[in-house]
């Protein structure tokens, strides 16, 4: 595969994630859209690193760190959403914006 193929895949993932993040009102679906956007960036970044500096493993390490951080962030996000739903039965972004303060 070529660099252009990976960049096209990354752009497609980012575009689908952006559409999902902007069009959904459910907090979980919003988080899934953000996850897809981050995955698109990781694919594009890893492809750049692989095609520009294949002799070093820096890009692979960065991708693994980014995926680990993303998994932790999503786990914390789902924990907050679960706690919010259990406490106030709020699962939409329109209802959650009234909770600040």
Q: Does the domain formed by 3-99 have CATH 3.30.390.10?
A: no
The whole-number average pLDDT for the span 10-26 is: 93
- Average pLDDT of the chain? 87
Residue 40 has pLDDT above 90, yes or no: yes
According to DSSP, the residues that pair with 80 across neighbouring strands are none
Domain boundaries, the chain: 3-99
Tokens of 32: 């899934």
SS3 call for 25: coil
pTM score, whole prediction = 0.80
Q: How confident is the model at residue 24 (pLDDT cuts 50, 70, 90)?
A: confident
Residue 18 has pLDDT above 90, yes or no: yes
């Amino acid at each position: 595969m070529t660099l252009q193929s990976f960049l096209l895949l990354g752009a497609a993932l980012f575009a689908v994630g952006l559409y999902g993040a902007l069009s959904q009102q459910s907090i979980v679906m919003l988080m899934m859209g953000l996850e897809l956007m981050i995955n698109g960036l990781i694919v594009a970044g890893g492809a750049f690193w692989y095609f520009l500096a294949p002799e070093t493993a820096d890009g692979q390490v960065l991708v693994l760190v980014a995926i680990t951080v993303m998994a932790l962030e999503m786990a914390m996000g789902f924990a907050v959403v679960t706690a919010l739903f259990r406490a106030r039965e709020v699962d939409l972004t329109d209802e959650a914006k009234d909770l600040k303060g």
